[in-house]
Amino acid sequence: QSALTQPPSASGSPGQSVTISCTGTSSDVGGYNYVSWYQQHPGKAPKLMIYQVSKRPSGVPDRFSGSKSGNTASLTVSGLQAEDEADYFCSSYAGRNNLVFGGGTKLTVL
């Protein structure tokens, strides 16, 4: 159960778009359309932003979008806002009743 690989940091100016990658293997990200993305502000619980690669829970702005190609999933935040500054974690079902998370990406809004 190796963690998924995310860049430790990402940044963008207000109004810009930023994409965060999440790389796994054919046993997790590449093998299932079960990638989720979570946003976590300091001292807070994670919040589900994207599930099943590209679906948004109700209440999540459409500025957040997800995609996948091969063993790499991506989260794109468009029209960056100050409140988007947070840590972002991806997760993927990894078969045999296992779930694996990425190491997290700290998104800074410049």
Partner 1 sequence: EVQLLESGGGLVQPGGSLRLSCTASGFTFSSYAMTWVRQAPGKGLEWVSAISGSGGNTYYADSVKGRFTISRDNSKNTLYLQMNSLRTEDTAIFYCANVVTGTGWASDYWGQGTLVTVSS
For the CB of residue 75, give the shortest distance to partner 1 in the complex, in Å. Answer: 14
H-helix or E-strand containing 22? strand 18-23
Q: Which of 22, 71, 92, 109 binds partner 1 (CB under 8 A)?
A: 92
Q: How far apart are CA 39 and CA 75, in angstroms?
A: 11
Q: How far apart are CA 94 and CA 36, in angstroms?
A: 12
Q: Which of 36, 39, 65, 74 binds partner 1 (CB under 8 A)?
A: 36
Q: Which stretch binds partner 1 (CB under 8 A): 10-18, 31-39, 61-69, 73-81?
A: 31-39
Residue 24 binding partner 1, by CB under 8 A:
no
| Residue 79 tokens, joined | 């029209």
CB atoms within 10 A of CB 12: 19
Q: Restricting to residues 43-72, name those near partner 1 by CB under 8 A.
A: 44-48, 51-52, 57
Specify whether the CB–CB gap between 78 and 36 falls below 8 A: no
Binding positions for partner 1, rule: CB under 8 A: 1, 3, 32-36, 38, 44-48, 51-52, 57, 89, 91-93, 97-104
